[in-house]
Amino acid sequence: MTLILTRSTIRALLADRAEAVEAAVARAHRDLARGRAVLPAPPAMRLPDGDGAFVAMAAASATDRLATVKLLADLPGNPAAGLPVQRSTVLAMDAGTGACAALLDGAELTRVRTAAATAVATRALARVDATTLGLIGTGPLARAHARALLPGRPYGQVVLWGRTPERAHGLAAWITAELGLPAKVLDDPRAVTEAADVLCTLTPSREPVVRGAWLRPGQHINAVGAPPRPDHRELDTEAVVRCRVVVDAYDTARAKSGEVLVPLAEGAVREDDFRVELGDVLTGRAPGRTSDTDLTLFNSVGVGLQDLAVARMLIDLAGERGAGVPVDLGS
């Protein structure tokens, strides 16, 4: 039987499970560094009559006994029809039998695993005395990041900015009411960047929203929001050059990340400057932050192994709680 997990079911199963999701994502990255998982660079398919892309994000894990593929549709024209730019579905197969274990809506899963990866990287790379969290972008990904980053951490305030003032003030009010931390809307991305000890960029930007000249020693930046396209980035070249860069997966970043591909094309960085993966830092194979004055950057493109780790968790939770809809695809 194949388990069908809808967005609402996934949201219910993952409610108040931020720490467990973070642990699952961290383990997946350690498994990748130790050779217990497979993560090929995802191919992008483009139709000749449009600017959309379909990205097949595959992964396999010996630990989780799954092979998965998430088919991500990145369609910039969708908002004109009132639809989201990105939509995705995850197919999970039992690695031992090849049986189709589950079919999962990708939206909530992707938001939660992306925020969890940021939390893992921030724990590994940010200064322990970081007190101000900065958010650039105010969409659902920003809320997911606030949920993942704030509980149990010593932040004293959140500063944020978004293109739509009403949404920015709404996010600030939600953070204060739901998470109990003062949140303030600032005038522009520069103000947020200069105020933050930990900065998360969460916009689908083609052009940089953060400049290297605004950064100061000791900050940690999570570049998260840009879609997996080589010409989209949220940080300019100077910002990347100034930072110690850690990627989620080298092959994926080399194929999809404008954050590294644009500076590489400009000759401002070398490939060795972004070969350190998050799993290398988590397993101690490579250093992350080496001093309180380091500028560190987690370049998060998003990888299929993160989807796999959370899919494994969801399948197990659904089995325990009798959630989801079983379907016999072979009937």
Alpha carbon distance 25, 118 (integer Å): 10
Whether the predicted pLDDT of 227 surpasses 90: no
Do the Cβ atoms of 282 and 35 come closer than 8 Å? no
Whether the predicted pLDDT of 44 surpasses 90: no
pLDDT of residue 16: 86
Do the Cβ atoms of 87 and 61 come closer than 8 Å? no
Q: Where are the alpha helices (DSSP H) in the chain?
A: 7-14, 18-33, 107-125, 140-149, 165-179, 189-195, 237-242, 250-256, 258-265, 278-282, 304-321
pLDDT of residue 107: 95
Domains and CATH numbers, the chain: 2-109+305-327 (3.30.1780.10), 126-302 (3.40.50.720)
Task: Please identify which residue in the block is written with the tokens 């690695």.
Answer: 95
Identify the bridge partners of residue 66 per DSSP, sorted by sequence position: 61, 94
pLDDT of residue 137: 97
Q: Convert the pLDDT of each residue in 84-138 to its tens digit.
A: 989 999 999 999 999 999 999 999 999 999 999 999 999 999 999 999 999 999 9
- Residue 110 φ then ψ, to 5°: -65, -45
pTM as predicted:
0.95
Residue 315 has, within 13 A of its CA and on its CB side, a CA count of 23
Q: How far is CA 249 from the centre of its chain?
A: 12
Alpha carbon distance 145, 62 (integer Å): 29
Q: Convert the pLDDT of each residue in 250-265 to its tens digit.
A: 999 999 899 999 999 9
pLDDT of residue 85: 87
Q: Which two tokens stand for residue 244?
A: 């110690």
Share of the chain above pLDDT 70, in %: 100
